[in-house]
Amino acid sequence: MARSAYGLDTGPDTNWRINAACGPDTAELFFVTGHVGRSGMSKDNKAALALCDACPVKSACYLDARDHPAEGWRIAGGQVWRPATRADVRDGAVSRRLAELSEGRSG
């Protein structure tokens, strides 16, 4: 399967990306380069979050990011995502977080 500029699959189930506010020309904005958290991120990362906030497919992007962990810190679906670690998988943190999201808890 092909990969987008963000390292994500670009198969037939990812057509929502056509309507995304971001694109290949903004890809570098979506990799977290500063401290994690809105106050410590670079101007580029804050610009990426601003694009996400206005994006018509933000929800689809969020779900895609949730279902496809990346190797590095990134911004997708209006959130800052950290890579899943072996410890997260081992202690069930990933499973618990997915259960929280499916129940509608964002905390």
Full DSSP string of 61-96: HHHHHHHS--SS-EEETTEEEPPP-HHHHHHTHHHH
Structure tokens at 83: 């890579």
- Tens of pLDDT along 70-86? 777 889 999 888 876 66
Q: pTM (2 decimals)? A: 0.62
Mean pLDDT over all residues of the chain?
Answer: 75
Structure tokens at 10: 């670009």
Return the percent helix, strand and coil in the chain, to nearest 5: 50, 10, 40
Confidence of residue 27 (pLDDT cuts 50, 70, 90): confident
Q: CB under 8 Å to 50, separation ≥6 — which residues?
A: none
Stronger pLDDT, 92 or 69, i.e. the higher one: 69
Domain ranges of the chain: 12-82
